[in-house]
Amino acid sequence: MTRYRNTWAEIDLGAIRYNLKQLKRLLPKDREIMGVVKADGYGHGSVEVAETLIEEGVRYLMVAYLEEAIKLREHGIKEPIFVIGRVPPQFAQTAVDYDVELNVFQAEWIKEALEHGFDGVLSIHLEFETGFNRTGIRSLEDLREIVKQIEAASGKIKIVGAYTHFATADEIDSEHYNHQKTTYEKMLKELNRLYKGPIMTHIGNSAAGIQYPEDMRQFTRFGISLYGLYPSKAIKSLNKVTLKQAFSLFSELIEVKKISPGEYIGYGRTYQAEEEEWIGTVPIGYADGWPRALQGFHVLIGGKKQPIVGRICMDMMMVKLDRPYSVGEKVTLIGKSGAEEITVDDVADYLNTINYEVPCMITSRVPREYVNRKVD
Ligand SMILES: Cc1ncc(COP(=O)(O)O)c(C=O)c1O
């Protein structure tokens, strides 16, 4: 497809392949990876990432919403897909039709899904609430009630998985993690007592998978680490795995000019030149997910840091240049330029947020271009 604009995100699928290999190496041999591609593959492109993971042997995917699962199916992805969000019970039929597995944690949900009615068999994972308090079955009593309702549905609903999610696996202190793990095991024991049939188990995200690989159940739900980002600075400092960032963001100068001392830049005149200065205009703005809060941060041009001056507009921003560059000169917003690099973590730190948010916040208005570099 023609790219008309001068701004693009470059996604290195080679880095994703590399990260997958490193994570696999960490886990005991008999464990598998569920590739988390929700939020359009954390902004990297869910279809392209899913296809890459599948090529490399991943045989389970996870998304957050039914729409995200349908998109994968419509692109020909056949592997099992687990949806962690609460899909409204009236869409059970859609889940069956698209062969998508749902997260269930309420007896009421089962009742409503059966009342709406659906043809075929619905596959579900039960979520155990163990200390995160987002969604999940809160007690053994609630678990028994849910299993009772499933048994009463005469084979229309099949439990295929049982899982939980950790609140603090990205911290070094393991107390709460251990509490959650023990609670999960207790609930799983009860489920195995009540329900006959193979149930796949999965508890860990990237942080748990990297920090406690031996504890991981059949599957580990790796998200952020597949994209080459560490779930926290604490996990990175463990030095257990080397990851390669897959996301870069580039643009090109569309105007270069010399301004005089005393001239202002942009909305609100928040920047005033003290001397003669070279100013470049870059076609990216907050509607692309490059927020106004990045005023004062920098980009790289010609391997050098160039500060963002004045307010970031909806579609453009201005940078102060160390010398006159040509229109069309490459601008690196995230990635490498010469010996310099701006990482996703650098942007996250400047915004006082976590790296997860950065590729997710770059909107679909920024085209994703794919490369497949070999990482050695
Ligand atoms: C239930 C669940 N599992 C796994 C993940 C993947 O987590 P991470 O990206 O930290 O690997 C998420 C992400 O938010 C999640 O909500």
For the stretch 217-270, pLDDT in tens is 999 999 999 999 999 999 999 999 999 999 999 999 999 999 999 999 999 999
Residue identifier of the C-alpha nearest atom 6 of ligand 1: 223
Task: Give yes or no for residue 319 CB within 6 A of ligand 1.
Answer: no
Testing ligand 1's pocket by substitution, the residue of 19, 22, 36, 222 carrying the most ligand atoms inside 8 A of its CB is 36
Atom of ligand 1 nearest to the CA of 165: 1
Query: Which is the catalytic residue, given 78, 186, 233, 267?
Result: 267
**For the segment 172-208, what is each residue's pLDDT rounded down to a tens digit?**
999 999 999 999 999 999 999 999 999 999 999 999 9
Decide: 309 and 274 in contact? Cβ < 8 Å: no
pLDDT of residue 195: 96
Task: Give yes or no for residue 69 CB within 6 A of ligand 1.
Answer: no
Residue 57 zone, left/alpha/beta (φ > 0; ψ -120 to 50; rest): left
pLDDT of residue 288: 98
Task: Give yes or no for residue 206 CB within 6 A of ligand 1.
Answer: yes
What mean pLDDT is reported for the chain? Answer: 98
Other C-beta atoms lying within 10 Å of the C-beta of residue 35: 27
pLDDT of residue 375: 80
Decide: 315 and 262 in contact? Cβ < 8 Å: no
pLDDT of residue 277: 98
Residue tagged 């909305």 (tokens): 267
Is 177 an active-site residue?
Answer: no
pLDDT of residue 374: 86
**pLDDT band at residue 1 under the 50/70/90 scheme:** confident
CA of 36 to the centre of ligand 1 (A): 7
- Mean pLDDT calculated for residue range 362-376: 94
CA of 236 to the centre of ligand 1 (A): 17
Atom of ligand 1 nearest to the CA of 209: 11
CA of 270 to the centre of ligand 1 (A): 39
Task: Give yes or no for residue 60 CB within 6 A of ligand 1.
Answer: no
pLDDT of residue 212: 98
For residue 367, the SS3 value is coil
Q: Which domains does the chain have, with CATH numbers?
A: 13-237 (3.20.20.10), 247-342 (2.40.37.10)
pLDDT of residue 366: 98
Atom of ligand 1 nearest to the CA of 356: 9
- Mean pLDDT calculated for residue range 316-337: 98
DSSP state of 283: S
Q: Where are the alpha helices (DSSP H) in the chain?
A: 13-26, 38-42, 46-55, 66-74, 92-97, 107-116, 140-152, 175-194, 206-211, 233-237, 344-350, 357-361
**For the segment 148-172, what is each residue's pLDDT rounded down to a tens digit?**
999 999 899 999 999 999 999 999 9
**For the segment 6-64, what is each residue's pLDDT rounded down to a tens digit?**
999 999 999 999 999 999 999 999 999 999 999 999 999 999 999 999 999 999 999 99
Residue tagged 């290999």 (tokens): 21
Rounded to whole angstroms, how far apart are CA atoms 64 and 45?
14
Is 42 an active-site residue?
Answer: no
